[in-house]
Copies of this chain bind each other. A is one copy, B any other.
Protein backbone atom coordinates (compact mmCIF):
# COMPACT_ATOMS: atom_id res chain seq x y z
CA UNK A 1 0.00 0.00 0.00
CA UNK A 2 1.80 3.14 -1.14
CA UNK A 3 1.33 6.43 0.64
CA UNK A 4 2.85 9.80 -0.12
CA UNK A 5 2.51 13.48 0.58
CA UNK A 6 2.72 16.19 -2.10
CA UNK A 7 3.08 19.85 -1.28
CA UNK A 8 1.05 22.09 -3.59
CA UNK A 9 1.71 25.35 -1.77
CA UNK A 10 4.34 26.20 0.82
CA UNK A 11 3.96 29.97 1.14
CA UNK A 12 2.32 31.89 3.95
CA UNK A 13 -0.13 34.80 3.85
CA UNK A 14 -0.81 34.77 0.09
CA UNK A 15 0.11 32.86 -3.06
CA UNK A 16 2.94 34.17 -5.19
CA UNK A 17 4.40 33.07 -8.51
CA UNK A 18 7.16 31.21 -6.65
CA UNK A 19 5.19 29.74 -3.74
CA UNK A 20 1.56 28.70 -3.75
CA UNK A 21 -0.67 29.28 -0.73
CA UNK A 22 -1.08 26.42 1.72
CA UNK A 23 -2.16 23.07 0.32
CA UNK A 24 -0.91 19.53 0.67
CA UNK A 25 -2.19 16.23 -0.67
CA UNK A 26 -1.91 12.90 1.13
CA UNK A 27 -2.27 10.15 -1.40
CA UNK A 28 -3.06 6.56 -0.61
CA UNK A 29 -4.06 4.00 -3.17
CA UNK A 30 -6.93 5.40 -5.17
CA UNK A 31 -7.65 8.42 -2.98
CA UNK A 32 -6.34 11.94 -2.47
CA UNK A 33 -6.95 13.84 0.72
CA UNK A 34 -6.40 17.57 0.60
CA UNK A 35 -5.12 19.50 3.60
CA UNK A 36 -5.85 23.22 3.30
CA UNK A 37 -6.72 24.89 0.05
CA UNK A 38 -5.31 28.38 -0.45
CA UNK A 39 -6.12 30.43 -3.53
CA UNK A 40 -4.64 28.86 -6.65
CA UNK A 41 -4.56 25.29 -5.31
CA UNK A 42 -6.50 24.03 -8.32
CA UNK A 43 -3.87 25.46 -10.66
CA UNK A 44 -1.06 23.97 -8.57
CA UNK A 45 -2.88 20.65 -8.72
CA UNK A 46 -2.99 20.87 -12.53
CA UNK A 47 0.74 21.56 -12.59
CA UNK A 48 1.39 18.53 -10.38
CA UNK A 49 1.13 14.87 -11.24
CA UNK A 50 -2.00 14.47 -9.12
CA UNK A 51 -5.55 14.35 -10.37
CA UNK A 52 -8.09 16.71 -8.83
CA UNK A 53 -10.92 14.29 -9.53
CA UNK A 54 -9.56 11.91 -6.97
CA UNK A 55 -9.98 14.27 -4.01
CA UNK A 56 -12.43 12.57 -1.67
CA UNK A 57 -11.74 14.36 1.60
CA UNK A 58 -10.70 17.90 2.46
CA UNK A 59 -9.32 19.10 5.78
CA UNK A 60 -9.13 22.82 6.53
CA UNK A 61 -6.87 23.66 9.48
CA UNK A 62 -8.26 27.14 10.08
CA UNK A 63 -10.28 29.79 8.31
CA UNK A 64 -7.53 32.17 7.22
CA UNK A 65 -7.81 33.04 3.54
CA UNK A 66 -4.41 31.62 2.61
CA UNK A 67 -5.74 28.19 3.65
CA UNK A 68 -9.27 28.48 2.35
CA UNK A 69 -9.84 30.84 -0.56
CA UNK A 70 -9.12 28.15 -3.15
CA UNK A 71 -11.76 25.73 -1.93
CA UNK A 72 -14.92 26.95 -3.72
CA UNK A 73 -13.08 27.12 -7.05
CA UNK A 74 -11.47 23.74 -6.54
CA UNK A 75 -14.84 22.10 -5.90
CA UNK A 76 -16.28 23.74 -9.03
CA UNK A 77 -13.39 22.59 -11.19
CA UNK A 78 -13.47 19.04 -9.81
CA UNK A 79 -17.15 19.06 -10.73
CA UNK A 80 -16.47 20.34 -14.25
CA UNK A 81 -14.03 17.49 -14.72
CA UNK A 82 -16.52 14.92 -13.46
CA UNK A 83 -18.29 12.77 -15.98
CA UNK A 84 -21.98 13.75 -15.72
CA UNK A 85 -22.98 10.22 -16.72
CA UNK A 86 -21.32 8.75 -13.69
CA UNK A 87 -23.78 7.48 -11.10
CA UNK A 88 -23.53 7.39 -7.32
CA UNK A 89 -20.61 9.77 -7.01
CA UNK A 90 -19.33 9.58 -3.49
CA UNK A 91 -19.78 12.49 -1.13
CA UNK A 92 -16.78 14.80 -0.68
CA UNK A 93 -16.30 14.98 3.09
CA UNK A 94 -14.96 18.33 4.29
CA UNK A 95 -13.64 18.91 7.80
CA UNK A 96 -12.80 22.25 9.36
CA UNK A 97 -13.62 24.81 12.03
CA UNK A 98 -17.10 26.12 12.69
CA UNK A 99 -17.89 28.69 10.01
CA UNK A 100 -16.67 26.57 7.11
CA UNK A 101 -20.16 25.33 6.31
CA UNK A 102 -21.49 28.87 6.06
CA UNK A 103 -18.47 29.93 3.98
CA UNK A 104 -19.07 27.23 1.38
CA UNK A 105 -22.81 27.62 1.35
CA UNK A 106 -22.53 31.35 0.63
CA UNK A 107 -19.66 31.20 -1.88
CA UNK A 108 -21.15 28.31 -3.85
CA UNK A 109 -24.69 29.64 -3.48
CA UNK A 110 -24.10 33.23 -4.61
CA UNK A 111 -22.05 32.10 -7.60
CA UNK A 112 -24.74 29.66 -8.72
CA UNK A 113 -22.23 26.83 -8.51
CA UNK A 114 -23.90 23.47 -9.00
CA UNK A 115 -21.75 20.45 -8.28
CA UNK A 116 -22.16 17.03 -9.82
CA UNK A 117 -21.38 15.34 -6.52
CA UNK A 118 -22.67 15.78 -2.98
CA UNK A 119 -20.56 17.32 -0.25
CA UNK A 120 -20.82 17.52 3.51
CA UNK A 121 -19.08 19.85 5.93
CA UNK A 122 -18.23 18.45 9.34
CA UNK A 123 -17.44 21.31 11.68
CA UNK A 124 -15.00 21.20 14.58
CA UNK A 125 -16.09 23.32 17.51
CA UNK A 126 -13.00 25.14 18.79
CA UNK A 127 -12.42 25.84 22.45
CA UNK A 128 -12.18 29.41 23.69
CA UNK A 129 -8.43 29.17 24.37
CA UNK A 130 -7.37 28.44 20.78
CA UNK A 131 -6.97 32.11 19.87
CA UNK A 132 -7.18 35.61 21.28
CA UNK A 133 -10.76 36.65 21.78
CA UNK A 134 -10.82 38.80 18.64
CA UNK A 135 -10.02 35.72 16.55
CA UNK A 136 -13.19 33.91 17.58
CA UNK A 137 -16.24 33.87 15.36
CA UNK A 138 -19.52 34.80 16.98
CA UNK A 139 -22.34 32.30 16.67
CA UNK A 140 -24.18 34.96 14.72
CA UNK A 141 -21.49 35.04 12.02
CA UNK A 142 -21.54 31.30 11.49
CA UNK A 143 -25.29 30.87 11.81
CA UNK A 144 -26.56 29.14 8.72
CA UNK A 145 -29.18 31.40 7.23
CA UNK A 146 -31.16 29.67 4.57
CA UNK A 147 -31.43 26.12 3.34
CA UNK A 148 -28.61 23.72 2.48
CA UNK A 149 -26.85 24.11 -0.86
CA UNK A 150 -28.55 21.80 -3.37
CA UNK A 151 -25.59 19.39 -3.28
CA UNK A 152 -24.94 19.74 0.43
CA UNK A 153 -25.59 16.87 2.78
CA UNK A 154 -25.97 17.53 6.48
CA UNK A 155 -22.61 17.40 8.24
CA UNK A 156 -21.76 16.62 11.81
CA UNK A 157 -20.63 19.02 14.52
CA UNK A 158 -17.64 17.52 16.27
CA UNK A 159 -16.74 18.51 19.81
CA UNK A 160 -13.53 18.02 21.69
CA UNK A 161 -13.33 14.68 23.44
CA UNK A 162 -11.94 15.83 26.75
CA UNK A 163 -10.50 12.49 27.80
CA UNK A 164 -8.25 12.18 24.75
CA UNK A 165 -8.01 15.96 24.18
CA UNK A 166 -8.78 15.38 20.51
CA UNK A 167 -11.54 15.32 17.92
CA UNK A 168 -12.45 12.02 16.28
CA UNK A 169 -13.12 12.82 12.64
CA UNK A 170 -13.66 9.29 11.37
CA UNK A 171 -12.38 5.78 11.47
CA UNK A 172 -12.54 3.25 8.68
CA UNK A 173 -10.92 -0.04 7.83
CA UNK A 174 -7.58 1.54 7.10
CA UNK A 175 -7.32 4.75 9.09
CA UNK A 176 -8.35 6.63 12.14
CA UNK A 177 -8.21 10.38 11.68
CA UNK A 178 -8.26 12.80 14.56
CA UNK A 179 -7.78 16.53 14.96
CA UNK A 180 -6.06 18.36 17.77
CA UNK A 181 -5.99 21.93 19.01
CA UNK A 182 -3.43 24.61 18.19
CA UNK A 183 -3.06 28.23 19.24
CA UNK A 184 -3.10 30.83 16.44
CA UNK A 185 -4.65 34.21 15.71
CA UNK A 186 -7.83 32.32 14.88
CA UNK A 187 -8.67 28.81 16.14
CA UNK A 188 -6.45 26.35 14.32
CA UNK A 189 -6.27 22.56 14.17
CA UNK A 190 -3.79 19.89 13.30
CA UNK A 191 -4.69 16.52 11.84
CA UNK A 192 -3.33 13.11 12.71
CA UNK A 193 -3.82 10.33 10.20
CA UNK A 194 -3.04 6.97 11.69
CA UNK A 195 -3.05 3.83 9.61
CA UNK A 196 -4.20 0.81 11.58
CA UNK A 197 -1.53 -1.65 12.59
CA UNK A 198 -1.73 -4.78 10.54
CA UNK A 199 -1.39 -8.31 11.95
CA UNK A 200 1.95 -9.99 11.32
CA UNK A 201 2.27 -12.94 8.98
CA UNK A 202 1.24 -16.41 10.08
CA UNK A 203 4.07 -18.65 11.25
CA UNK A 204 3.18 -21.38 8.75
CA UNK A 205 5.84 -23.85 9.93
CA UNK A 206 4.43 -23.75 13.43
CA UNK A 207 0.87 -24.13 12.17
CA UNK A 208 1.88 -27.24 10.25
CA UNK A 209 3.49 -28.67 13.36
CA UNK A 210 0.23 -28.08 15.19
CA UNK A 211 -1.57 -29.94 12.42
CA UNK A 212 -3.50 -26.94 11.12
CA UNK A 213 -4.00 -26.74 7.37
CA UNK A 214 -4.60 -23.59 5.29
CA UNK A 215 -8.29 -22.71 5.34
CA UNK A 216 -10.87 -20.74 7.34
CA UNK A 217 -9.04 -21.36 10.62
CA UNK A 218 -6.02 -19.45 9.30
CA UNK A 219 -8.30 -16.45 8.71
CA UNK A 220 -9.65 -16.76 12.24
CA UNK A 221 -6.17 -16.70 13.70
CA UNK A 222 -5.10 -13.83 11.46
CA UNK A 223 -8.16 -11.89 12.67
CA UNK A 224 -6.91 -12.33 16.24
CA UNK A 225 -9.29 -15.08 17.33
CA UNK A 226 -8.31 -18.32 19.09
CA UNK A 227 -8.78 -21.77 17.58
CA UNK A 228 -9.41 -25.00 19.54
CA UNK A 229 -7.70 -28.10 18.14
CA UNK A 230 -9.34 -31.55 18.19
CA UNK A 231 -6.98 -32.41 21.03
CA UNK A 232 -8.63 -29.66 23.05
CA UNK A 233 -5.52 -27.46 22.89
CA UNK A 234 -6.34 -23.79 22.38
CA UNK A 235 -4.10 -21.97 19.89
CA UNK A 236 -3.91 -18.23 20.47
CA UNK A 237 -3.54 -15.84 17.58
CA UNK A 238 -0.51 -14.29 19.24
CA UNK A 239 1.30 -17.66 19.28
CA UNK A 240 1.16 -18.14 15.54
CA UNK A 241 1.46 -14.55 14.25
CA UNK A 242 4.70 -12.74 13.60
CA UNK A 243 5.11 -9.26 14.96
CA UNK A 244 2.40 -6.80 13.85
CA UNK A 245 3.22 -4.31 11.06
CA UNK A 246 2.74 -0.90 12.64
CA UNK A 247 0.54 1.52 10.75
CA UNK A 248 2.04 4.73 9.46
CA UNK A 249 1.27 8.07 11.04
CA UNK A 250 1.17 11.42 9.28
CA UNK A 251 0.57 14.63 11.24
CA UNK A 252 -0.24 17.90 9.53
CA UNK A 253 -0.20 20.96 11.74
CA UNK A 254 -2.14 24.11 10.97
CA UNK A 255 -0.67 27.56 11.60
CA UNK A 256 0.27 27.93 15.25
CA UNK A 257 2.57 29.52 17.76
CA UNK A 258 2.01 26.62 20.17
CA UNK A 259 0.14 23.39 20.71
CA UNK A 260 -2.75 23.36 23.15
CA UNK A 261 -3.29 20.72 25.80
CA UNK A 262 -1.63 17.31 25.75
CA UNK A 263 -3.65 15.97 22.80
CA UNK A 264 -1.22 17.06 20.08
CA UNK A 265 1.91 15.46 21.51
CA UNK A 266 0.07 12.33 22.56
CA UNK A 267 -1.56 11.88 19.16
CA UNK A 268 1.52 12.69 17.12
CA UNK A 269 3.90 10.53 19.12
CA UNK A 270 6.12 8.54 16.79
CA UNK A 271 4.83 10.25 13.63
CA UNK A 272 6.49 9.08 10.43
CA UNK A 273 6.00 12.55 9.00
CA UNK A 274 5.19 15.68 10.96
CA UNK A 275 4.45 18.74 8.85
CA UNK A 276 4.87 21.94 10.84
CA UNK A 277 4.93 25.57 9.87
CA UNK A 278 8.07 27.68 10.15
CA UNK A 279 6.93 31.02 8.82
CA UNK A 280 9.99 33.01 9.88
CA UNK A 281 13.55 32.29 11.00
CA UNK A 282 14.50 32.05 14.67
CA UNK A 283 15.89 35.60 14.58
CA UNK A 284 12.31 36.80 14.02
CA UNK A 285 10.82 34.71 16.81
CA UNK A 286 9.06 37.59 18.53
CA UNK A 287 7.39 38.74 15.33
CA UNK A 288 6.44 35.17 14.44
CA UNK A 289 4.79 34.56 17.80
CA UNK A 290 3.06 37.94 17.65
CA UNK A 291 1.43 36.81 14.43
CA UNK A 292 0.56 33.38 15.82
CA UNK A 293 3.37 31.63 13.93
CA UNK A 294 6.39 29.43 14.61
CA UNK A 295 10.09 29.43 13.82
CA UNK A 296 12.22 26.37 12.95
CA UNK A 297 13.38 26.00 16.53
CA UNK A 298 9.78 25.97 17.75
CA UNK A 299 8.80 23.39 15.13
CA UNK A 300 11.82 21.31 16.10
CA UNK A 301 10.76 21.30 19.74
CA UNK A 302 7.39 19.86 18.75
CA UNK A 303 8.97 17.20 16.53
CA UNK A 304 11.38 16.24 19.30
CA UNK A 305 8.63 15.99 21.89
CA UNK A 306 6.72 13.73 19.48
CA UNK A 307 9.78 11.62 18.61
CA UNK A 308 8.84 12.14 14.98
CA UNK A 309 10.93 10.41 12.35
CA UNK A 310 10.80 13.30 9.97
CA UNK A 311 9.96 16.97 10.46
CA UNK A 312 8.86 18.78 7.31
CA UNK A 313 8.97 22.57 7.50
CA UNK A 314 6.50 24.53 5.38
CA UNK A 315 4.36 27.73 5.26
CA UNK A 316 7.35 29.98 4.66
CA UNK A 317 7.07 33.73 4.53
CA UNK A 318 7.10 34.82 0.89
CA UNK A 319 10.40 36.57 1.62
CA UNK A 320 12.04 33.12 1.41
CA UNK A 321 12.39 32.19 -2.22
CA UNK A 322 12.56 28.52 -3.11
CA UNK A 323 16.10 27.14 -3.18
CA UNK A 324 16.09 26.95 -6.97
CA UNK A 325 15.49 30.71 -7.25
CA UNK A 326 17.89 31.65 -4.48
CA UNK A 327 20.72 33.88 -5.62
CA UNK A 328 24.07 34.48 -3.98
CA UNK A 329 23.76 37.34 -1.55
CA UNK A 330 20.01 37.03 -1.10
CA UNK A 331 19.26 37.99 2.45
CA UNK A 332 16.55 35.48 3.28
CA UNK A 333 17.68 31.97 2.54
CA UNK A 334 15.20 29.16 3.13
CA UNK A 335 18.12 26.76 3.66
CA UNK A 336 18.90 28.73 6.82
CA UNK A 337 15.50 27.66 8.21
CA UNK A 338 16.51 24.04 7.72
CA UNK A 339 19.83 24.63 9.46
CA UNK A 340 18.06 26.23 12.41
CA UNK A 341 15.77 23.23 12.84
CA UNK A 342 18.69 20.83 12.43
CA UNK A 343 20.70 22.69 15.04
CA UNK A 344 17.83 22.38 17.45
CA UNK A 345 17.57 18.65 16.71
CA UNK A 346 21.29 17.84 16.72
CA UNK A 347 21.20 15.11 19.33
CA UNK A 348 17.97 13.52 18.11
CA UNK A 349 16.99 11.13 15.33
CA UNK A 350 14.55 13.55 13.71
CA UNK A 351 15.32 14.17 10.05
CA UNK A 352 14.50 17.66 8.75
CA UNK A 353 13.08 18.33 5.28
CA UNK A 354 12.14 21.63 3.66
CA UNK A 355 8.84 21.49 1.84
CA UNK A 356 8.73 23.05 -1.58
CA UNK A 357 5.93 23.33 -4.10
CA UNK A 358 5.46 20.01 -5.93
CA UNK A 359 7.79 18.07 -3.63
CA UNK A 360 6.48 14.52 -3.13
CA UNK A 361 7.59 12.53 -0.08
CA UNK A 362 6.93 8.81 -0.11
CA UNK A 363 5.99 7.35 3.27
CA UNK A 364 7.32 3.80 3.22
CA UNK A 365 5.69 0.96 5.13
CA UNK A 366 7.28 0.45 8.49
CA UNK A 367 9.19 -2.72 9.10
CA UNK A 368 7.99 -4.36 12.30
Contact B140–A13 (Cβ < 8 Å): no
User: Which B residues touch A2, using CB under 8 A?
Assistant: none
Identical copies in the complex:
2
User: Which B residues touch A69, using CB under 8 A?
Assistant: 39, 69, 72-73, 107, 111
Chain A residue total in the interface (Cβ 8 A): 44
Contact with B along A24-67 (1 / 0, CB 8 A): 00000000000000011011001100000000000000011110
A237 beta carbon closer than 8 Å to chain B: no
Contact B112–A135 (Cβ < 8 Å): yes
Give bound CA distance, A232 to B14, whole Å. 69
Least CB separation from A137: chain B residue? B110
Q: Which residues, 1 to 28 on A, are CB-close (under 8 Å) to B? A: 13-17, 21
User: Which B residues touch A76, using CB under 8 A?
Assistant: 14, 65
Contact B103–A106 (Cβ < 8 Å): yes
User: Which B residues touch A145, using CB under 8 A?
Assistant: 140, 143, 145
Q: Give, as a whole number of angstroms, the nearest-CB distance from A151 to chain B.
A: 14
Contact B146–A141 (Cβ < 8 Å): yes
A321 beta carbon closer than 8 Å to chain B: no
Contact A16–B43 (Cβ < 8 Å): yes
Contact B107–A107 (Cβ < 8 Å): yes
A238 beta carbon closer than 8 Å to chain B: no
Give bound CA distance, A295 to B40, whole Å. 28
Q: Give, as a whole number of angstroms, the nearest-CB distance from A307 to chain B.
A: 34
Q: Which among A68, A111, A113 has the highest number of chain B CB atoms within 10 Å? A: A111
A296 beta carbon closer than 8 Å to chain B: no
Q: Which among A40, A106, A110 has the highest number of chain B CB atoms within 10 Å? A: A110
